[in-house]
Amino acid sequence: MEYWVRVAPDVRIYVNDINPGGRNPILFIHGWPANHRMFEYQYNALLGAGIRCIGIDMRGYGLSDKPVWGYDYNTLADDVRGVIDALGLRGITLSGHSTGGAVAIRYMARHQGHGVSKLALFAAAAPSLIQRPNFPYGLKLSDVEEIINAAHADRPQMLWDFGEKLFYKKVTAPFSEWFFQLGLQAASWSTIAIAHSWISEQLFQDLGQIRVPTLILHGIHDQVCLYPLALAQNQGIAHSKLVPMEESGHGLFYDQREDFNRELLGFIR
């Protein structure tokens, strides 16, 4: 079932509720700059096991409305709450990749894990995507500024360059083009606004407010959300399990999709 949930007077979030009669529902929050379709290879595996899969497009991305405001993590987490309440979801696994993982963490802290019984983080951009005085493990600030400047100058080229370092294993040219097109579906302003949020947002305090079992999947070759971020998540979240993905980069959902899907299915069952 496909529909839009109104989360603000001028903002509707696109929802693809796949197999609504299934069990063990999982809600997916995609990473930057894609949309829910990036989880195609998870949907195919989980649906075969009878799982209810719910994909959403964050505001500004995919088929959701694209306002010029609201790209801070608080607002994005509030959008997730709007979807969970509109669908009446309870006892779900909340999952997120990259920026989507950061939004999932903020949701757990800001909304006290409302409706969520388990949390799954995939290469999450937390507790900080960039290096800070007390956290020297992320990207350099100049790396993010370069992405922002490139998006202003030539967004298609920026997206293509980003895709080139996303996967550890070689992907086909058609696959690269498909993923590139997911990024093009986003608005330019939302693409840039999220990158600015990477600079301002920190989730150090949020980690300690998570009270549900948490699975952390992270590629050790990740060039975007570096592997030490996963170690910090594992240390900061009680009852968390970290599974290093030895043959994966940032696109671990495809690099090691069979291992990824097996770990995820075993966790949510």
Rg (CA), the chain: 17
Report the sign of the C-alpha dihedral through residues 170, 172, 175, 180, in that order.
positive
Is 222 catalytic? The answer is yes
Is 188 catalytic? The answer is no
First to last CA, the chain: 23
Query: How high does pLDDT run on average in the chain?
Result: 97
Q: What is the mean pLDDT of residues 203-216?
A: 98
Of the CA atoms within 13 Å of residue 120, those in its CB half-sphere come to: 24
pLDDT of 163 = 95
In the chain, which ranges are E strands? Answer: 2-8, 11-18, 23-29, 51-56, 92-97, 116-122, 214-219, 240-245
Query: Domain range spanning residue 218?
Result: 2-268
pLDDT of 29 = 99
- Active-site position among 222, 240, 248, 255: 222
pLDDT of 254 = 98
- Active-site position among 36, 97, 218, 250: 250
Q: What is the mean pLDDT of residues 165-194?
A: 97
3-state helix, strand, coil in the chain (%, to 5): 45, 20, 35
pTM: 0.98
Q: What is the mean pLDDT of residues 231-253?
A: 98
What are the backbone dihedrals phi and psi of residue 250, each rounded to the nearest 5 degrees, phi first? -70, -30
pLDDT of 91 = 98
Domain containing 119 — which CATH number?
3.40.50.1820
Is 95 catalytic? The answer is no
pLDDT of 185 = 98
pLDDT of 193 = 98
pLDDT of 187 = 98
DSSP string, 155-168: HHHHHHHHHHTT-S
Q: What is the mean pLDDT of residues 204-214?
A: 98
- Active-site position among 17, 57, 65, 98: 98
pLDDT of 169 = 93
pLDDT tens for 10-38 read 999 999 999 999 999 999 999 999 999 99
What's the domain count of the chain? 1
Report the sign of the C-alpha dihedral through residues 60, 94, 211, 130, in that order.
negative
pLDDT of 149 = 98
* Token representation of residue 160: 């293509």
* Token representation of residue 248: 């994966």
Confidence at 190, pLDDT banded by 50, 70, 90: very high
pLDDT tens for 32-86 read 999 999 999 999 999 999 999 999 999 999 999 999 999 999 999 999 999 999 9
Please give the share of the chain, as a percent, with pLDDT higher than 70. 100
pLDDT of 251 = 98
Q: Which residues contact 149 (CB under 8 A, 6 or more apart)?
A: none
Q: Is 221 helix (H, G, I), strand (E, B) or coil?
A: coil
